[in-house]
Amino acid sequence: MPFAPTDHRLDRLIYVLVKNATVVVPGPKIASEVGVSRATVWTWIERLREAGVRIRGHARRGYQLAALPDVLAPSLIRPHVPPQQQIGRKIIHYFCVGSTNDVALELSPRDAPHGTLILAEEQTAGRGRMGRTWHSERFSGIYSSIILRPPLSPAAAPILTLMAGLAVREAVWASTGLSADIRWPNDVLLNGRKVSGILTEMRAEMDRLHTVVLGIGINVNHVRMPAELKGIASSLALEGGQRYSRLQVLLALLRELEQHYRLLIEGGSSVIVERWMARSSYAQGKHLRVRTATSEYMATSAGLDLSGALRVRRDDGQEELLVAGEVVEIK
C-alpha cells in the first residue's frame, strides 16, 4: 500500500485528546469535534493504539489518554509556530513513509511553498549521505525534510547545509541543554558520537536554486543503537541520560532554522561561517582523515572559506580546499 499523509481529522483527534488529557472525552463529542462518525473514531483510536499511543477506553463514557503522547502531530506543532515564521508554516505528517526527502523532492512549489515541513514518525527507507541508510526507528527520532526556495545561486548550496547544521546544534542546546559539536560539513556530535545528520538535496538551473530540501534526522530517544552504529552514533537520550520531548526539540529546530536562514539571506554567508567556526571543534587544528569521491588522506583543518569549504593542510604539506566529502577525527 502506498504511504499516505496523516488525515487532518486524525490529526485533530490527537489534538482533542491532548487538550482534554485530564478528563474522559465521550465518543460522540470527539466525533462531532473531529467531523467523523463514532465508528471512525473507534477505528482511529485503535490505529493510534497500534502506533503506540496509550489511550484508555471507559465503557460508555469515552476515551482518555493514559500518557501524553510524543507524537509530532501538526495540530500540536502549529500553535507554537508564530505567524511570521515561514519554516513549519505548512506541515505534512506521515506515521510511516519511505523517506521524507523523497516526498519533499516530488512536491510542486504550489503544494509546498518555502518553509514546508515534511515529518514522519518512522521511515522505511531513510537515506543518509554517501548512499548510506538512515536508521529511522519509530517514534524515537525526528525525521524531517524542510523545503526551501531560496533566492540564491547553486554556488550557495554548501552554505545552506552549514547553516542547517548550526541550527540543529543550537536547537539541541536550547531544548536539552546539551552542548554539541559540529563536524564538517554538518554532522552534529555529542561526546564524539553522531546524533544528527543532514542530507541536502536540490533542484537547480545553471543560475538559480529552485528547491533545496534539507533532510534532517535527529536521534532523540533511541535507547540503543544498532550494533553496526555503536561507537559512532548515539542519541540525545543516551548522551543526556534522560528522555526528551521530540516536540520541544522540533519546535526549537524550526525556530533556529528560521533565524539562521534569515541571517544568511539578510547578512550573507560570513555571519554563518563565523558562527559555525565558533561552535565547531573541527574548524581549526583538528587532525583528520579526509575522504573525497576520488581520494583519501590525512590532514589538519585550517578554517572555512566564505563558501563553506574547509581548508586543510595535508600531512605531506599540500593545501586543499574541501568542497565535498567527509572527515573523521584521528586521535
Give the interface with ligand BTN as residue ranges (CB under 6 A). 99-101, 123, 126-129, 132, 134, 143-145, 187, 197-199, 215-217
* Identity of the residue, 69 or 165, whose beta carbon is nearer to ligand BTN in the bound complex: 165
Q: Least distance (Å) from ligand BTN to the CB of residue 213?
A: 8
Query: What CA–CA distance (Å, rounded) separates 299 from 319?
Result: 9
Nearest alpha carbon to residue 49 among 71, 33, 23: 71
In the complex with ligand BTN, the residue whose CB is nearer, 217 or 325, is 217
Which residues does 186 contact at the CB level (< 8 Å), separation at least 6? 161, 162, 164, 165, 168, 197, 198, 200
Q: Which is nearer to ligand BTN, 34 or 290 (CB)?
A: 290
Q: 129 or 255: whose CB is closer to ligand BTN?
A: 129
Identify which of residues 145 and 211 has a Cβ nearer to ligand BTN in the complex. Answer: 145
Question: What is the smallest separation between the CB atom of 226 and ligand BTN, expressed in angstroms?
Answer: 15
* Residue 273: its H or E element: helix 269-279
- Map 200-243 to HEC letters: EEEEECCCCEEEEEEEEEEECCCCCCCHHHCCCECCHHHHHCCC
Given the complex with ligand BTN, which of 127 and 193 has the nearer CB atom? Answer: 127
Tell me the backbone φ, ψ of residue 289, rounded to 5 degrees. Answer: -100, 125
First to last CA, the chain: 48
Cβ at position 141, least distance to ligand BTN in Å: 8
Picking from 268, 257, 267, 262, the residue whose alpha carbon sits closest to that of residue 87 is 257
Closest CB to ligand BTN among residues 15, 143: 143
Minimum gap (Å) between residue 196 Cβ and ligand BTN: 8
DSSP state of 4: -
Beta-carbon contacts of residue 99 (< 8 Å; ≥ 6 apart): 123, 125, 126, 127, 215
Of 45 and 214, CB closest to ligand BTN: 214
Q: How far is the CB of 125 from ligand BTN (least distance, A)?
A: 7
CA 126/CA 112 separation, integer angstroms = 21
Give phi and psi for 109, each to the nearest 5: -55, -30
Closest residue to ligand BTN: CB criterion: 197
Least separation in angstroms between CB 143 and ligand BTN: 4
Contact 288, 300 (CB under 8 A): yes
**Residue for grid cell 561507537:** 231
Shortest CB 35 distance to ligand BTN, Å? 31
Q: Shortest approach of ligand BTN to residue 307 CB, angstroms?
A: 20
